[in-house]
Structure formats: structure tokens, C-alpha cells
Amino acid sequence: MNKLKVALIGVYPPPYGGVSIHIQRLLAGCLGNNISCTVFDVSRRVKKVPGVVNISRIWNWLRFLASGQDIVHVHTSAINWVIPVIFFYLARIKGAGFVLSYHSLRNDCGDFGTLGLKMMKAMLKSASHCIAISSDIKEKLVSMGARPERVSIIPSYLPPVIKEEEIAEIPQNVWDFMAGHTPLISAILIENIYRILKNNKDKAIRGIPYEL
């Protein structure tokens, strides 16, 4: 049987955030389950990671168009409708299924603007499937035209893929800190880590003990 081919559209870390971590883990999960998967990274930072292509370079748009996918899966949040709509129409041109995951949607429908709301309605009405992380987001998507039977509520958390080489990169002072302190409290701050930790965010990501 031919492998299922999936294109993931969104941000791949860095920067680190809820959506980018989700995409990183989803890529690993697909590859580990015999699914051919490529991430088309919409950030401006080029990553030298196998299976990750940055679309800030024009020739990578051509690479997307030239490659065959069964599913184009866009991950987004807030009122950023331009990228999802672009890839929706590209998926239709390619004859691929289109899946849209909304990781957050705190805004009201009117915040999309007249053009944005019109484009969103057209996209949501014809999308193969939509994924919302909460019932509130599902209700907003349905109010904009998504078919209720095509919207699933699925939490965005995916367990990390533990790699021995990454464990080996944990600094010795982290192990010393854990050995010398009881009890230990571990806090994972992802979605707004850049606001909370500011200059200490890189240290936090590398697992270096710090104080807020």
C-alpha cells in the first residue's frame, strides 16, 4: 500500500509555542506511524530539520505545488485567515483533502472583517474536516459556516517523543539541581512563554534552573 501523504502547515519551532510544539510532535508521530509527512513552516526562520520546509522562500511554494499530498492540514489560531485560505484553495487545486485545526479563537467572528469573514465562510463550508480544541471554538466555527458533523473537539496536547540524544544534552547542573532539592515542581509554560520568561526563555527551554 502507498503511504498516506500529509502536509502540515504552520510554525515549526523555534519559536517555541503551543502550536509549534504540537506540529513538531505531530510530525514525529506521523513519521513513526508510516505516514509520509512534510511540514511547510510559515515562520521566517529557516530550520535545518529533515521534513521541514520554509515557505518564506518562493521556490518552496513551487515544491509544495509539485509534491503530491493526500491531506493538507493547516494549524492556526486567532484571526489569521490569509494562510489557511491560501492553502485551502491550493489543496483544492491539488485535489487533496483539507483539514483545519484551530488552536485558539478568542476573537468574535466580526473581528475577521468583511473580506476575511467571507473567505472564512467559504473555506469552512467546504473543508474536509475541522478540529477545535474546545466546544467554544467549535461553536464559533459552526457559526461561520462549518458543518457541525465535520468539526471534532480534540485537545491539542500530544506526548513528547523522548530521544536519548536529547536527554544526553541536558546540562549536568540540571541533574545536580534535581538531586539536591526535594520536592521538585516542574512547570511547562508553552503558549505564552515568550511573554512570561522574557530573557530567560532560552534557559527555560534548555532545562536550566531559573527563578522568575
Calpha distance 138→136 (Å, rounded)? 5
Enter the pTM of the model: 0.79
State the greatest distance between any 2 C-alpha atoms of the chain, in Å, as a whole number: 59
Calpha distance 205→188 (Å, rounded)? 9
pLDDT at 201: 47
Cell of 43: 515562520
Cell of 3: 503511504
Which phi and psi (to 5°) does residue 102 adopt? -105, 115
CB 142 within 8 A of CB 151: yes
pLDDT tens-digit map of 154-173:
999 998 877 777 788 788 88
Q: Which residue has the cell 509539485?
A: 66
pLDDT at 1: 58
Calpha distance 171→164 (Å, rounded)? 14
Bridge partner list, 10 = 41
With a CB cutoff of 8 Å and minimum separation 6, the contacts of 81 are: 112, 116, 119, 120, 123
Domains located in the chain, CATH noted = 5-153 (3.40.50.2000), 166-206 (no CATH)
Residues above pLDDT 90, as percent of the chain:
55
Angle between helices 82-94 and 113-126 (to 10 degrees): 40
Map residue 114 onto helix, strand or coil.
helix
Map residue 30 onto helix, strand or coil.
helix
- Checking if the pLDDT of 131 tops 90, the result is yes
pLDDT at 59: 86
pLDDT tens-digit map of 67-119:
889 999 999 988 889 999 999 999 999 999 999 999 999 878 778 889 999 99
- Checking if the pLDDT of 203 tops 50, the result is no
- Checking if the pLDDT of 142 tops 60, the result is yes
Map residue 8 onto helix, strand or coil.
strand
